[in-house]
Amino acid sequence: MSWKPTLPQWPILQWGREIDRQGLADDALAGVIVAVMIIPQSLAYALLAGLPAQAGLYASIVPLVLYALLGSSRVLAVGPVAVVSLMTAAAVGEFAQAGTAHYAEVALALALLSGLMLTVMGLLRLGFIANFLSHPVISGFITASGLLIAASQIKTLVGVQAGGHNLPEMLTSVLAKWEQVHGLTLAVGLATLAFLFAVRSRLKPLLRAWGLSPRAADLLSKLGPVAAIVVTTSAAAVYDWHAQGMKTVGAIPPGLPPFTFPTWDLALWGQLAMPALLISIVGFVESVSVGQTLAAKRRERVDPDQELVALGAANLGAAFTGGFPVTGGFSRSVVNFDAGARTQLASLITAAGILLATLLFTPALFHLPQATLAATIVVAVLSLVDYKILARTWRYSRPDFMALMATLVMTLLQGVETGLVVGVALSLALYLWRTSQPHIAEVGLVPGTEHFRNVQRHQVLTVPQLVSLRMDESLYFANARAIEDRINQAVARQPALRHVVLQCSAINDIDASALESLEAIDERLRDAGLQLHLSEVKGPVMDRLQRSDFLEQLSGRVFLTHYQAVQALTPELTAAAAPHTGA
């Protein structure tokens, strides 16, 4: 029940010393490859978040540098990611109209709050909060987010104005404007989609057939979006599609990321607190799981508390330089790793590359069709959708399946925040419900051993004077009554009963409510002429019981092993079951 705050560490002091010539070359290559990949992604996710395209570039410079200095993963690439951008759009859309200056201000406040929360959670070692997001809830949420993001891009692919923060809203909002579909935009969007799907499924085998190494083929096929952007942007510039009514990225002011000071509006902060918390936790979970997966491949370690501090600093950086909430991204980190990055130096080089692009190349992005970016988003997020997990979870555990489905359906129908909150609440409620209905087994002696197993599942020995009950749950307030009921039932069933022995091997704790129940049980058994005994009580549980007067009052005894209890109370049973060694 105690934890200590942690002080920020500077992992750069560690890896900074290890860089040699070869490492520098590896990191430089990886950093450039990631920069090329990240530029279109960051533009696309800024649009997904409802912000001007340059916000994506700004969010990919200072945050990367801060994570590089503080992060404990050597290869994690931080920046705008799909799910967090969707959550940002949902949260900010509650308070401002997309495209307005106020909208950008609210997004900065969200990044600031998220940064503060992550930093504080890290310093107070509260990373365990993320453990309450169960895998089924995350699976349901990520799959639903992928579908929501894809649906949100339909409007851009067909060139109409539409909105909505859940699936029905998005679909009806686009369908209502179906007659305004812009033919040229639709054509470019569909062509890009077809190209990207083809690259995804065909290019890699083709490159392998041409003799490229698997890694090179993999990396090259991930540059498909960059090729699509170059081609469609050139075509748009040559044929001046912008003048024909196609939405393009438009004018981006070249220059350094601006210094922005997030609005000091406490009422707004209060209303943003819940979405900021959800964004922080989802971002943290996504980031840490990517980081740990990649670290394990090289036998490195990722420290979750340090990650919280580093991601917090990255978001604070985004808040003060015109960005929006960021986190460690899956696909870019994998590219970074596969491209040979050894340290966060690669991220520093990526940040330098994006800064260079922001200073020099933004005019080249004027003609980039928004439909092209939408197509890259759709192809990227459909990989988040995982249908197989549904069948697998259904087979393994109904409660987990319920939590998964509730999160999935509620996210699609009610949006990201409701979906996530319902999922977490339901998974906690199902856990509490299950532990409040404990499995209690009557056990008997396995002949020839000192071991006891469930009488309903195994051929075991019992005697009518003694009942052995194994509680398969810690005893706490929610299940104290169930245990009373079960013992009453056992007593009512066996008239010859003299001893009730509770095998406590699965009891990890007995809280004050359960202690009162045990006292009541003991008193009732004593009144009826029976004795209550305990066996295999664990150390921590015994320590606690000794702080009450329960053990002094207990009608029976406490035995180290269940076998010793049965041997002492009903020797005839253990004699009958003894192994015939040397006899």
Of 38-46, 59-67, 214-222, 398-406, the segment contacting a second copy by CB under 8 A is: 398-406
Min CB(241)–a second copy separation in Å: 47
Among 347, 473, 501, 569, binds a second copy (CB under 8 A): 473
Which one, of 470, 472, 469, 448, lies nearest residue 460 by Cα? 448
- Which residues are bridge partners to 543 per DSSP? none
CB 439 within 8 A of CB 567: no
Q: Which stretch binds a second copy (CB under 8 A): 91-99, 322-330, 356-364, 560-568?
A: 560-568
> Which of 331, 414, 418, 474 is close enough to bind a second copy by CB under 8 A?
474
- Decide whether 311 or 368 has the Cβ nearer to a second copy: 311
Closest alpha carbon to 156 in 198, 200, 188: 188
Q: Kindly tell me which residue out of 101, 259, 264, 581 binds a second copy, with binding defined by CB under 8 A.
A: 581
Residues 125-164 that bind a second copy (CB under 8 A): 128, 131-137
- Quote the least distance from Cβ 537 to a second copy, whole Å: 11
Backbone angles phi, psi at 157, to 5 degrees: -65, -30
Within 236-255, the residues that bind a second copy by CB under 8 A are: none
Tell me which of 205, 481, 553, 572 binds a second copy, using CB under 8 A: 481
478: nearest Cα among 522, 441, 431, 547: 431
Interface with a second copy includes 361 (CB under 8 A)?
Answer: no
Q: Which of 70, 165, 50 is nearest to 115 (CA)?
A: 70
Euclidean distance between CA atoms 553 and 573, whole angstroms: 28
Cβ nearer to a second copy, comparing 376 with 427? 427
Closest to a second copy by CB, 347 or 479: 479
Size of the site for a second copy (CB under 8 A): 67
Q: Which is nearer to a second copy, 273 or 520 (CB)?
A: 520
Q: Quick one: 176 or 512, whose CB is closer to a second copy?
A: 512
Instruction: Between 17 and 457, name the residue whose CB sits nearer to a second copy.
Output: 457
Give the shortest CB-519-to-a second copy separation in angstroms.
11
The tokens for 213 are 């190494």
Nearest distance from residue 414's CB to a second copy, in Å?
19
Binding a second copy (rule: CB under 8 A), the pick from 6, 397, 414, 418 is: 397
Find the part of the chain contacting a second copy (CB under 8 A) among 168-176, 271-279, 360-368, 432-440. 432-440
HEC assignment per residue over 178-217: HHHCCHHHHHHHHHHHHHHHHHHHHHHHHHHHCCCCHHHH
CB-wise, 270 or 540, nearer to a second copy? Answer: 540
Q: Which of 6, 331, 454, 494 binds a second copy (CB under 8 A)?
A: 454
Half-sphere exposure of 425 (CA within 13 A, CB side): 8
| Of 200, 208, 242, 451, the one binding a second copy by CB under 8 A | 451
State the DSSP code for 132. Answer: G
Kindly state whether residue 393 participates in binding a second copy, applying the rule CB under 8 A. yes
Binder of a second copy out of 38, 82, 290, 480 (CB under 8 A): 480
Name which of 81 and 440 has its Cβ closer to a second copy.
440
CB of 568 to a second copy, least distance (A): 15
For residues 328 and 286, is the Cβ–Cβ distance under 8 A?
Answer: yes
Structure tokens at 108: 């900065």
Q: What span, in angstroms and rounded, lies between the C-alpha atoms of 279 and 71?
A: 19
Closer residue to a second copy (CB): 494 or 548: 548
C-alpha distances out from residue 180 to 100, 368, 369, 431, Å: 23, 21, 18, 50
Residue nearer to a second copy on the CB measure, 237 or 506: 506
> What is the CA angle 44-47-51, rounded to 5?
135
Spell out a b/e string for 268-305, using b for 16 or more CB atoms within 10 Å of the CB, else e: bbebbeebbbbbbbbbbbbbbbbbbebbeeeeeebbbb
| Closer CB to a second copy, 367 or 562, in the complex | 562
Which segment (14-22, 83-91, 252-260, 387-395) binds a second copy by CB under 8 A? Answer: 387-395
| Interaction of residue 582 with a second copy, rule CB under 8 A | yes
Give phi and psi for 234, each to the nearest 5.
-60, -45
| Rounded CA separation 304/131 (Å) | 11
- Does 544 bind a second copy (CB under 8 A)? Our answer is yes
Min CB(528)–a second copy separation in Å: 9
Is there binding between residue 395 and a second copy (CB under 8 A)?
yes
Footprint of a second copy on 82-121 (CB under 8 A): none
Rg of the chain on CA atoms, in Å: 31
Which pair of structure tokens corresponds to residue 238?
């040559």
Q: What amino acid occupies position 117? A: M
Do residues 483 and 534 touch, judged by C-beta distance below 8 A?
Answer: no
Q: Find tokens 């453990």 and name the residue.
A: 131
Q: Is residue 529 a contact point for a second copy (CB under 8 A)?
A: no
Closest approach of Cβ 409 to a second copy, in Å?
Answer: 18
Q: Which of 126, 75, 84 is nearest to 309 (CA)?
A: 126
Please say which residue, 169 or 511, places its beta carbon nearer to a second copy: 511
- The per-residue b/e assignment along 497-506, b for 16 or more CB within 10 angstroms, e otherwise, is bebbbbbbbb
Task: Give the SS3 label for residue 416.
Answer: helix
Closer of 208 and 544 to a second copy (Cβ)? 544
Among 434, 486, 526, 557, binds a second copy (CB under 8 A): 434
Instruction: Catalog residues that contact a second copy under the rule CB under 8 A.
Output: 1, 128, 131-137, 296, 392-393, 395-400, 427-428, 431-439, 441, 449-451, 454, 457, 472-474, 476-482, 505-509, 511-513, 515-516, 524, 538-540, 544, 547-548, 560-561, 563, 581-582
